[in-house]
Structure 1
Amino acid sequence: MENVLFDDLLQSLKEAKAISEGKAEASRRFQMSPTDVKAVREQIGLSQSEFAKLMRVSIKTLQNWEQHRRSPTGPAAALLKIVSTAPDIALKSLHS
């Protein structure tokens, strides 16, 4: 490994350690707002059972999302984003 690359990696690790210990501020922070699952469901006009079937999750999972006891992750979160952004296309694709 080149010395310059190694020095850059070492400096990055030192910065990460300082940030994790609270000795330095992160240069960037990202805030991800959770998707309002109930609002998305109501936007497209489906019941909980219909929306749970569409999302291929149990109704209990959907209720946990809607009541903010749990948050959708991974593919479910991505699909919710698509449904909220382009409901016509998402519904057409998922029903065919």
Structure 2
Amino acid sequence: MTPDDIKTARQKAGLTQQESADMMRVHLRTWQKWEYGKREMSLGLLEMFLILSREPNVSNDHAADLERETE
């Protein structure tokens, strides 16, 4: 995946870099490094982002609830 692919996917989802980072549970700087080509984002992570960003019922609150349930 190219940095442009990552940026385009985020923009199509209508998300900011911070929102995207939060969704993927990474630091903002990590997301920025992916978009600027300073760090490679795996295909699996991009696919996960595409799934999460297209699913209206998936939110950080719901994911946090799932984490608490599994502890």
Alignment-derived partner of residue 49 in structure 2:
80
RMSD: 2.2
Change (3 A) 1:77 1:45: closer
Percentage of matched positions with identical amino acids: 33
Structure 1-normalised TM-score?
0.50
Q: Which has the larger share of helix?
A: 2
CA contact (8 A) 1:40 1:83 kept: no
Mark the structure with the bigger radius of gyration.
Answer: 1
Output the CA distance in 1 between the equivalents of 2:40 and 2:19.
Answer: 19
Structure 2-normalised TM-score?
0.64
Q: How does 1:27-42 map to 2 (within 5 A)?
A: 34=1, 36-42=5-11
Output the CA distance in 2 between the equivalents of 1:81 and 1:49.
Answer: 16
- Long gaps (5+) in structure 1: 1-33
- Which structure is richer in relative contact order (CA contacts within 8 A, separation 6 or more)? 2
2:30 aligned with 1:61: yes
- Long gaps (5+) in structure 2: 63-71
Output the CA distance in 2 between the equivalents of 1:71 and 1:80.
Answer: 14
